[in-house]
Amino acid sequence: MTETKKTAPAHEPTSQFPLDPATGELTVGGHRLSVLAARVGQTPFYAYDRSLLKARVQQLRAALPAGIELHYAMKANPMPALVQFMAGLVDGIDVASAGELQVALNAGADPHEVSFAGPGKRDIELEQAVAAGVLVNVETARELPVLAAASQRLGLPARVAIRVNPDFELKGSGMRMSGGPKQFGIDAETVPEVLAQFGTLAGQGLQFEGFHLFAGSQNLKPEAICEAQQKSYALALRLAESAPAPVKFLNLGGGFGIPYFPGEARLDLAPIGANLAALQARARTDLPGAKLVIELGRYFVGEAGVYVTRVVDRKVSRGQVFLVCDGGLNHHLSASGNFGQVLRKNYPAVIVPQGRRETAVEAASVVGPLCTPLDLLADRMDMPRGEIGDLAVVFQSGAYGRSASPEGFLGHPACVEVLV
């Protein structure tokens, strides 16, 4: 027997996607979901809403002081059309591979405002970066002579910033990327030694431009973010004393989180804006001419996207309802809880009935077609009663979706991405 209740639960993230006044159907980018699915021509698909992307950048600009540069870290969502759209809204694009670099350049990003971070950069990737004229955030001293050699060969400067592994962490982050031993960046205490190599390699085209500090990700605590920014600033200032040239770019990281789970609220930007204004004022005297950069992935795109899959089967197993869909973990590893989560929790999700009005609500599990119990998009969630042919929608799906998922696993068809 399945439980039937009267009212649908209110998931706050769905408020970004209004219901069609005439039919009551969920809309994405102004399209009724059934019409959008027909336009796409297949399920599963991801849809990203331009107006929400734009609104998010505008909100951020309004909350942060003018002059703070906003960079989009495109690993959160590398869909070329989306990167192109974002390139027109933000000040720069941060890439993590030569593959992403190509997408950013194709999108029309200004190479002067592109930076390239990431461990394990291959020599060929470093040469591509020099040829493109982008800023390389070096993660190890090994990259310096490789960059100098590329610079010599090409007759172009190699623009370099030092990515620092700070001696602190961003408290309460979903993923910590600093403090203690890490494969990212150069340990703060050894940075002066590495900066001294600029002297040895002088005249070989290395151009020092600044520091990059990235302390963590998915953080919803403004006080923790402010503290990390202050510590990052202080550390960069200390390191700048050993720098061979004035700091042009100081990338203070990002880490702004979005709410996924019940009880989580949107990040309060006001204290972060005030904090950055104070740091900016100090930088005017401490580091004249330096641009302060914030780099964000998830915060820009996460809430603007949905993943849509269709119910292929409805099964009741020992009293529990399973809505088996045509896509799952193979396209959306994050929503299945297998991309960095410690305890699995449901992303906000809903069933959108097709061809009927549905008033009944029941607890159902939305699963994908893979032969593993990990393929779970929603675990016993209260949703409108689902039937075969209905659409299942997972919200907060604009970041770390398709490109962060094992699409080839089990050989099901690929999903499609649309920007609407």
Ligand X SMILES: *Cc1c(COP(=O)(O)O)cnc(C)c1O
Site for ligand X, rule CB under 6 A: 73, 75-76, 94, 117, 214, 217-218, 254, 295-299, 399
In the complex, what is the shortest distance from the CB of residue 96 to ligand X, in angstroms, rounded to a whole number? 6
Instruction: Tell how far CA 285 is from the center of its chain.
Output: 33
Single-letter residue type at 59: Q
By beta-carbon proximity to ligand X, the closer residue of 165 and 354 is 165
d(CA 214, CA 217): 8
In the complex, what is the shortest distance from the CB of residue 214 to ligand X, in angstroms, rounded to a whole number? 4
Which residue lies nearest ligand X, judged by its C-beta?
A: 297
State the burial class of residue 161 (Cβ atoms within 10 Å of its Cβ: 0-12, 13-18, 19+).
buried
In the complex, what is the shortest distance from the CB of residue 333 to ligand X, in angstroms, rounded to a whole number? 15
In the complex, what is the shortest distance from the CB of residue 82 to ligand X, in angstroms, rounded to a whole number? 14
In the complex, what is the shortest distance from the CB of residue 254 to ligand X, in angstroms, rounded to a whole number? 5
Contacts of 278 (CB under 8 A, 6+ apart): none
191-200 and 143-154 helices cross at what angle (nearest 10)?
30
In the complex, what is the shortest distance from the CB of residue 243 to ligand X, in angstroms, rounded to a whole number? 20
In the complex, what is the shortest distance from the CB of residue 90 to ligand X, in angstroms, rounded to a whole number? 13
Cα distances from 177 to residues 169, 255, 314, in angstroms, run 7, 10, 42
Q: Are 289 and 239 in contact (CB under 8 A)?
A: no
By beta-carbon proximity to ligand X, the closer residue of 128 and 217 is 217
Sign of CA dihedral 117, 254, 210, 58: positive
By beta-carbon proximity to ligand X, the closer residue of 27 and 173 is 173
- What is the CA angle 8-10-16, rounded to 5? 125
Given its phi and psi angles, is residue 410 left (phi above 0), alpha (psi -120 to 50 degrees) or beta? left
In the complex, what is the shortest distance from the CB of residue 200 to ligand X, in angstroms, rounded to a whole number? 27
By beta-carbon proximity to ligand X, the closer residue of 94 and 417 is 94
In the complex, what is the shortest distance from the CB of residue 124 to ligand X, in angstroms, rounded to a whole number? 21
In the complex, what is the shortest distance from the CB of residue 25 to ligand X, in angstroms, rounded to a whole number? 31
By beta-carbon proximity to ligand X, the closer residue of 222 and 386 is 222
By beta-carbon proximity to ligand X, the closer residue of 104 and 392 is 104
By beta-carbon proximity to ligand X, the closer residue of 154 and 226 is 226
By beta-carbon proximity to ligand X, the closer residue of 225 and 243 is 225
By beta-carbon proximity to ligand X, the closer residue of 365 and 396 is 396
By beta-carbon proximity to ligand X, the closer residue of 164 and 383 is 164
d(CA 167, CA 316): 52
Strands 249-251 and 206-213: parallel
Nearest to 309 by CA among 369, 383, 372, 396: 369
Single-letter residue type at 324: V
In the complex, what is the shortest distance from the CB of residue 73 to ligand X, in angstroms, rounded to a whole number? 4
By beta-carbon proximity to ligand X, the closer residue of 161 and 378 is 161
